[in-house]
Structure 1
Amino acid sequence: MLGRSGKNEKYRREDTELTGDCWHTFPGDSNAQGVDLSLGQPYIQLGSAMDAQVHKVLLPQPGVVGQSAQLECVWAAGSQGFYSVRWYKNGEQFYSFVPKNSPQVKVDHKLEGVSVELEQSDERVVTLRELRMDSGGNYKCEVMSEAPTFKSSFKSENMTVIVLPKAPELSGLQNRRPYRVSDQLNVTCTARDASPPAKLTFYLDDQPFGPSSTRVTELRTERGSYPGVYTSRTRLVVPLSSSMVPSLNVKCVSDVERLKDKVEVRIDVEENTGIGSFFYSGGSRLTPCLVTLVLALAAPAALATVPRCPS
């Protein structure tokens, strides 16, 4: 709605996106002239150089549950200075900085999911205490110019809040004896209680085995130990080769929004040598007759009793 305020009148409009009123200005640079609609006479427009301007909002990307977060508003006061700085989450105010409101210059408005550390907050930076799962959302910084314009400027950004998993775990590795060439390495990696679910990648020494590898099976994602979090499991099955002797580094990396953790272990790998390895590598395919023959070859004295194997 337009209304008069005097001889060199200014026109205001209600802006539903802004908390305070904004003086109506005409397009052009800071030295442009407007027209008094009632008198048909020019007046000097209140230019942008006089008013506060918010340039950008800087947020953690992502925020992490359980950790603090600093929200930064980058702005310039203009020649008139500023009246207030206010922060909103999803359109609801949670922090205000008003220098003239002494002694309560800084106010935490106690919004659900947002807890402000007032001692570490000012007109430029707001520090949030431990983030929660409901701390994510759209954060807006609004700076209002000082009188006579009280013009508002704002910028906003979205902040995603994640839950990092517990350190990944490896299971299925044999501990009783070293691995041998031609053994199957069958190992499962688990990352518990993450949001969103963690992505898992195996590494054998420096060679990655991701979800696209035929050696990898992504197991079903399950609900975690409390609402909103998930447990991921991935299995790797690889035959061991001579190139992996004498040892192999097995590593699993969890990734949630580019924040990573890992678990790794080094296993011993031995060559197959001697008759024991012959039985171990192919025993399941040996017939009783061939077993007797191999034993006889190992003990010449038993040659007299070697049976004739059918062809």
Structure 2
Amino acid sequence: MEVAAGLSITRINVPDVVAVGEGGWFQCEFTKGESVYALKWYLGLDEFYRWTPAETPAIRTFPVKGNPLTVDKAASNRGRIKIQNFKLGATGLYRCEVSAEAPSFHTETAVATLSVVDLPDEKPRIVGVQSAYQVHEEVTVNCSSYNSFPPATLSFYVNDEPAEPSWVTHYPPTEDPESGLKTSVLGLQFPLRPNLLLSGGRAMVKCTAAIGDNYWESSVVAVHSDTPHQASVMEGRASSSPSHGAAVMSAWWVVRVVAVMLLLHLQ
């Protein structure tokens, strides 16, 4: 039997966020004081775990509607319990309750929250890329992250730089009516400017998908120009040639005028 002075909960700990199918530990610590009658864990109003040291067996578990979690009884003891196989329904407010035996029946409670996320089925998918584009042609693509909860946050990058806000179109996520999972979609449209072309005449488009600190993935596609990148360099050289020729012709005329003036002076 647990005995101490002044029964009180000193610490409650549950994971902040877990993924569907994962497990974790819940912990409810209390001072060793009055005789402990029972320690209970609740999800909302539903009790799912009870430790009663004076009874045999001391640990009992109870089903919660929808079976959003499973308690590993063999690994659990007192206020420290092991949870297996979280489901989305396990998101909510958890309460630890410790009560003393008669005559005081003193009860202490503490609460903590937990969120369950369902991660996307795959990396974000970029669609709509053509085999090649002309310079200044509009590039229009979409990025999707499928079946998650909450919906993933998507972002576009062009050559590892954040896409200009005016290039990006935000769409509301769609929901699967059976699973409740959501698909995020983000659009990108931008002109394939010459300054965006890297070596090989291509620009790189990246889409990232994130859910808080629990998930981050990215996908990259190449957007190819039908004109080799080197052509723009040659065009630059060609465009400079007339200026050089004009300078040469101008100098020649100056020399000729000076020569004529000298001849006239000598006469």
Establish whether TM, by shorter chain, passes 0.5: yes
For 1:237, the equivalent position in structure 2 comes to 189
Q: In structure 1, how many angstroms separate the alpha carbons of the residues matched to 2:223 and 2:173?
A: 31
Q: In structure 2, how many angstroms separate the alpha carbons of the residues matched to 1:82 and 1:139?
A: 20
Q: 1:271 deviation in Å?
A: 1.7
Q: Is the 8 A contact 2:196 2:203 kept in 1?
A: no
Q: 1:266 deviation in Å?
A: 4.9
SS in 2 for 1:214: helix
TM-score of the superposed pair, with normalisation by structure 1: 0.62
For 1:135, the equivalent position in structure 2 comes to 90
SS in 2 for 1:196: coil
77-86 vs 107-116, which deviates more? 77-86
Are 2:217 and 1:262 aligned? yes
Q: In structure 2, how many angstroms separate the alpha carbons of the residues matched to 1:225 and 1:253?
A: 25
Deviation by residue 1:216-255 (Cα, 9 ceiling, x = unmatched): 1112422227331121111111223425412544322222
Q: Structure 1 residues 128, 260: CA separation in 2 closer, same or farther (over 3 Å shift)?
A: same
The alignment of Structure 1 onto Structure 2 pairs a total of residues equal to 221
Q: Kindly report the root-mean-square deviation, in angstroms, between the aligned alpha carbons of the 2 structures.
A: 2.8
Report matched runs for 1:161-172 at 5 Å.
161-167=116-122, 168-172=124-128
Are 2:145 and 1:188 aligned? no
2:60 is aligned, of 104, 107, 113, to: 107
AA aligned opposite 1:159? L
Q: 1:181 deviation in Å?
A: 4.7
Aligned-pair identity in percent equals: 24
For 1:125, the equivalent position in structure 2 comes to 80
Are 2:17 and 1:62 aligned? yes
Report matched runs for 1:216-231 at 5 Å.
216-224=168-176, 226-231=178-183
Looking at both structures, which has the greater relative contact order when contacts are Cα pairs under 8 Å and sequence separation is at least 6? Answer: 2
Q: Which runs of 5+ in 1 are unaligned?
A: 1-48, 278-311
Deviation by residue 1:20-78 (Cα, 9 ceiling, x = unmatched): xxxxxxxxxxxxxxxxxxxxxxxxxxxxx7122113432222232222232222x2333
Q: Is the 8 A contact 1:170 1:263 kept in 2?
A: no
For 1:160, the equivalent position in structure 2 comes to 115
Q: In structure 2, how many angstroms separate the alpha carbons of the residues matched to 1:203 and 1:125?
A: 45
SS in 1 for 2:166: coil
Q: In structure 2, how many angstroms separate the alpha carbons of the residues matched to 1:219 and 1:250?
A: 19
Q: Which has the higher helix share?
A: 2
Q: 1:141 deviation in Å?
A: 0.4
Q: In structure 2, how many angstroms separate the alpha carbons of the residues matched to 1:209 and 1:259?
A: 24
